[in-house]
Structure 1
Amino acid sequence: MLEIQSHQKVHRGRLFPEIQWTEDQKHLYRDNLENHHQRCRVIFERLQPELIKNHYNWFMAVDSETGDYFIDQNEEVVTQMCLQKHPNAIPFIFVINETGVAGKI
């Protein structure tokens, strides 16, 4: 029996080619993200020494706009807690330990 082989190449491309960001839009997005992270980091670093005693390796969600924070052992739960109180917020998640991140690089 003869097998038929297809020699057509699959053309891969953008999922939404109509959405094209300019370099200025990309830089603005990165700057906003970095500013958001820095505001959240200040709140985390202020609270970290106090929380690390009783909540080591728990998760902490910080809303930079209000300064509110939420802690729980489960990352998904802490995210949902933040989004229930502030539905339009973009919480930044930290791990309550010496570095604020999980794992090693």
Structure 2
Amino acid sequence: MTETKLTPKVPTKRIFTENQWTQEKLDQWKTEIVEYRQRCQSIFNRLQPELIKTHYNWYIVIEPEGGSYIIEQDKMNLLKKIRQIYPNKKTFLFQINETGVSDTL
């Protein structure tokens, strides 16, 4: 007796076609992200020379709308604090070092 194999049927169309972005919307979103990062970067560049002396390799999260920031030595503790303080706001994380990069691939 031969056994039959069940092969999953792959859908031929996208499931949520109403959620597809146009190229203009995608470009606008990318521009907003770049502008947001530049605002955060300018605040970081202003704070970095002073903080690098006392908090080298610590983490800083910047919220550019109000210009506020939070510094913490442990990255996970900082992320927990940020979720409590700014639950619905975008923030940007930097590491206080020469480059500001927190992780590498």
User: Normalized against structure 1, the TM-score is what?
Assistant: 0.81
Report how many aligned residue pairs link the two structures: 105
Other structure's SS at 2:53 match: coil
1:90: Cα distance to partner? Answer: 0.4
1:74 shift after superposition: 2.0
**SS in structure 2 of the partner of residue 52 of structure 1:** helix
Aligned mates of 1:6, 1:83 — CA distance in 2? 45
Contact 1:51 1:96 in 2 (8 A): yes
Question: Structure 1 residues 47 and 14 mapped into 2: Cα distance closer, same or farther (>3 Å)?
Answer: farther
- Aligned counterpart, 1:54: 54
Q: Does 2-11 or 63-72 show the bigger shift?
A: 2-11
Alpha-carbon distance in structure 2 between the residues aligned to 1:12 and 1:45? 49
Provide the C-alpha distance between the structure 1 equivalents of 2:77 and 2:13, rounded to a whole number of angstroms: 36
Once the two structures are TM-superposed, the CA of residue 75 in structure 1 deviates from its matched residue by: 2.1
Matched, 1:33 2:33: yes
Question: Contact 1:79 / 1:91 at 8 angstroms: preserved in 2?
Answer: no
Name the CA distance, whole Å, in 2 between partners of 1:12 and 1:76: 41
Deviates more, 1:70-79 or 1:80-89: 80-89
The answer to which structure has the higher helix fraction is 2
* Identity of matched residues, %: 41
Asked if 2 retains the 8 angstrom alpha-carbon contact of 1:63 and 1:91, the reply is: yes
Contact 1:59 1:72 in 2 (8 A): yes
Superposition CA RMSD, Å: 2.3
Task: Flag structure 2 segments of 5+ consecutive residues without an equivalent.
Answer: none
